[in-house]
Structure 1
């Protein structure tokens, strides 16, 4: 049997080794590559004011959001929804897409959204940032999509100055956290304040779109999805339907395509068939073909498609215009190597090599390099100026160099772009400011004979430094373990209206989506009326238990007896508690089951 203490020591030593490696000069020449399969955390924040009844009669905005959901990866992406007027009308916390049913549930929620009076863009932005902030997952790429159809129309009692202050604060928070806010302005009546939505996007390093027709929204959502994941929308040949099957060729250029998303925009239903490169008709849907249809679009997702020409057959209503777009999701990254030196100076040449990789292996498919353009992006960290230098690109690799202009620090990235995707390597930094710090301590003075005493003061300092590193590694490892401890089981939630006696059906919330802790408010889908439950926190306990901490004013009882959970209360399998809220006359029953 393995000794747990021995395993712990090995883990700590491994962590220390990695820490020392990261601090060593070799780290600057290590390969830098992006994650293999990028996942997103997206919040769709949509204006549901009554003015949208005129600018979006057919609720195409809802259809566009549903298409965004369908385009998300089959597993792993997280999507939330905020429906706002001058307040939050409905909200769905970030929900992880792990199945087709998860997407159906979220799309059903979107279909149930209703309209309300007034408009306050600051509310839509602020709440979206909160939802993303409370449910984002480490390693996922965050984004917000904000859709509005006009200027603010504030309720009595709120000034434009107050709204502007709230909006600016929310945008600044998004900027500080690196959350881009893509804005879509639906300018059907010409009343859109373009300057405001363009500034929101610009300040958060995103893009802004303006359209006069709601029919353009599915196309725009496609472009946002592709842009954020550094992919490209490839328009396929559109046509006017004649009531018969019409053929469209879908080219899968190489074997590195993870997913091919084919979106078919039509305001009338279409019928779809698909033939693989061998001419065999495919079963739709199947485990490799996911198909979803709506009032404004149909989307066909091909998983791990074979390389070659696929034939898409579409039958539409006669005289109906049909547009088709294709987005490839690639399992391709850029790995970069930079020549390492601690003594760069102006005039020196820095050589750079890079390659395309898939699953950690160099890609040898010539089609991926064909017509690809590679550039070295050099940012002077002292002047903040950026330039792009051309690199030589071939299936043998990507090569080039830069000349150091000034005694400054620089950041280098390699960008590879072809007709289907854009990829960038992780950045590497070099310095031409000269050697920093003193020379290493010598154990023997020059000219002294062998056997001279070792400089134990210097060695003692070095040993003390190692001890500090070990202590830091132990502390960091312990903190990381606590922060990332996983949950087991799920919570069964029932909400009772104490005025009417009405009780919701049991809602099951799996806990394994959270690491370290979660707020009860998150389990309640961040509903605004239950905001006070932010102060009720769940943490993983020993032996598959859950620890409940209460810092709110809510009253918590078990078996009819009130208890204090300010310092934590252990919940075991089948434990059932009642939480009486203070701000609304409702109570929440929680049951923990493994």
Structure 2
């Protein structure tokens, strides 16, 4: 009978496989560095400047600022953190916090209402408001739309309006808007600002577009409206339309308490002491605010006396993925108004 040969398997080795000297050196270097080589830290800054868009007064010692981070002239989205404040007004102290991250909105729906009262011949003799409004609508992109109104108490209001002339309803057609702005830039009559705000809110909201706003410019105190500031605030709140107000007051002598209140209580922003020559830049800043805006809130240790100008500098970090954190600053200044004054 033939013999069968039994095969034997080679015994398993208990020693680790040999590695080349280069591989061992590579492992040693990785171990000494704590793992794979780290990705270089980003050097491109998230933003280069911070723009202050206006104020929103919540109380005598509580004020919010709308801010927009920019990279050159372009708006930037990023995370706001680590805010701080320094004061240049003697005797004022407090702290600042982030009250809203940067919200980006690519589509703008704005009803722009321009003061056409007789005093504009003095406060804006070169019709800078016309140039500013034209530049504003010139920035409309994509599905953005605007409407143009004017207000003064001597003209017959347009159909459905209380005290305003509607020169152009919401449209993206910049040629039509520019023609409307030219027609809206005149000067006669007295000031019916509160009626004008209600009219502009109606125009901004009736198309049912998302995120409508009102941009309202005046150079005087209301003296002819049939409605009160509270009526204007209620109309804007009911429609969900924030009102951004601009007080053209180069001398700093006008009392814009009610205009500031309308902006603050509707979720808009207020800006005053603007010379006519500054309108172009400020309308452009507001366009930035409508497309990308965050919020910083200042809480003072004590309420300053009415008439005090509170000034200082806000600081905040802006961070975006893949970019270096930017530490940005922006000066601020606002007047403390008498919240207990008759309305």
- The TM-score normalised by the length of structure 2 is 0.51
Q: Does structure 1 retain, via aligned residues, the 8 Å contact 2:243–2:268?
A: yes
Asked whether 1:91 is paired with 2:167, we answer: yes
Match of residue 370 from structure 1: 324
Q: Does structure 2 retain, via aligned residues, the 8 Å contact 1:41–1:136?
A: no
Asked whether 1:42 is paired with 2:114, we answer: no
Match of residue 195 from structure 1: 257
Change (3 A) 1:190 1:370: closer
Change (3 A) 1:208 1:191: same
C-alpha distance in 1 between matches for 2:107 and 2:187: 31
Give the match's secondary structure for 2:206. Answer: helix
Once the two structures are TM-superposed, the CA of residue 82 in structure 1 deviates from its matched residue by 1.2
Structure 1 residues 265-318: Cα deviation after superposition (integer angstroms, max 9, x where no partner): xxxxxxxxxxxxxxxxxxxxxxxxxxxxxxxxxxxxxxxxxxxxxxxxxxxxxx
Say what the alpha-carbon RMSD is for the aligned residues: 2.7
C-alpha distance in 2 between matches for 1:117 and 1:189: 22
Match of residue 177 from structure 2: 106
Change (3 A) 1:192 1:91: farther
Task: Output aligned runs, 1:6-405, within 5 Å.
Answer: 38-73=106-141, 75-86=142-153, 87-95=163-171, 97=172, 102-113=173-184, 114-137=186-209, 140-154=210-224, 162-164=226-228, 167-188=229-250, 190=252, 192-230=254-292, 366=322, 369-371=323-325
Once the two structures are TM-superposed, the CA of residue 36 in structure 1 deviates from its matched residue by 8.2
Once the two structures are TM-superposed, the CA of residue 201 in structure 1 deviates from its matched residue by 0.9
C-alpha distance in 2 between matches for 1:136 and 1:55: 35
Give the match's secondary structure for 2:254. Answer: coil
Give the match's secondary structure for 1:57. Answer: coil
Q: Does structure 2 retain, via aligned residues, the 8 Å contact 1:149–1:188?
A: no
Q: Does structure 2 retain, via aligned residues, the 8 Å contact 1:83–1:89?
A: yes
C-alpha distance in 1 between matches for 2:263 and 2:205: 18
Give the match's secondary structure for 1:105. Answer: helix
Change (3 A) 1:231 1:199: closer
Which of structures 1 and 2 has the larger relative contact order (alpha carbons within 8 angstroms, sep 6+)? 2
Which residues of structure 2 form unaligned runs of 5+? 1-101, 154-162, 295-318, 330-343
C-alpha distance in 2 between matches for 1:60 and 1:142: 25
Task: Output aligned runs, 1:493-504, within 5 Å.
Answer: none
Runs of 4+ in 1 over 4 A off after TM superposition: 34-37
Task: Output aligned runs, 1:424-435, within 5 Å.
Answer: none
Once the two structures are TM-superposed, the CA of residue 187 in structure 1 deviates from its matched residue by 1.0
Once the two structures are TM-superposed, the CA of residue 212 in structure 1 deviates from its matched residue by 4.4
Q: Does structure 2 retain, via aligned residues, the 8 Å contact 1:42–1:132?
A: yes
Q: Does structure 1 retain, via aligned residues, the 8 Å contact 2:219–2:249?
A: yes
- The TM-score normalised by the length of structure 1 is 0.30
Once the two structures are TM-superposed, the CA of residue 141 in structure 1 deviates from its matched residue by 2.0
Once the two structures are TM-superposed, the CA of residue 62 in structure 1 deviates from its matched residue by 1.2
Task: Output aligned runs, 1:443-458, within 5 Å.
Answer: none
Once the two structures are TM-superposed, the CA of residue 228 in structure 1 deviates from its matched residue by 2.3
Change (3 A) 1:92 1:136: farther
C-alpha distance in 2 between matches for 1:187 and 1:145: 17
Change (3 A) 1:149 1:180: same
Q: Does structure 1 retain, via aligned residues, the 8 Å contact 2:104–2:291?
A: no
Q: Does structure 2 retain, via aligned residues, the 8 Å contact 1:55–1:189?
A: no
Once the two structures are TM-superposed, the CA of residue 176 in structure 1 deviates from its matched residue by 3.2
Once the two structures are TM-superposed, the CA of residue 193 in structure 1 deviates from its matched residue by 2.6
Equivalenced residues, count: 194
